[in-house]
Amino acid sequence: MVGTLHGNLVHLRQYPVRFGFKIVDLYSDLVSSALGKTPVPKVTPKATESYEGMPDEIGALDYAQVINVFNYLRQGKDLIIPNQWSHLVPKPLL
């Protein structure tokens, strides 16, 4: 069975065994090429630029529980946040 998330509900689908065996047979072909993937840009921006350019959607950070990561990073005694990142990581929010 495979579950798909629709809102807060998970709908299960049941696939025939033959379908599963066919997917297993096709697996190496499916993962061996980049067909269907978004092309990688020739020049990638710095990580800080990518982070700053992310859309600030309401509730996205709460859902991902990123605040817990920020708190961990800020409160770690042996962790050092590089200067170029320090303004991007908020102070602990307990």
Q: Can you give the pLDDT at residue 8?
A: 59
In a domain, 17, yes or no: yes
CB neighbour list of residue 66: distance below 8 Å, 6 or more residues apart: none
Residue 32 confidence class, pLDDT cut points 50, 70, 90: confident
Tally of structural domains, the chain: 2
Domain range for 17 is: 2-31
Same domain for 52 and 80, yes or no, is yes
Is-contact 23 10, C-beta < 8 A?
A: no
This prediction's pTM: 0.39
Q: Can you give the pLDDT at residue 93?
A: 59
In a domain, 93, yes or no: no
Q: Which residue has the higher pLDDT, 51 or 19?
A: 19
Q: Is 66 left (phi over 0), alpha (psi -120 to 50) or beta?
A: alpha
Q: Inform me whether the pLDDT recorded for 10 exceeds 80.
A: no
In a domain, 6, yes or no: yes
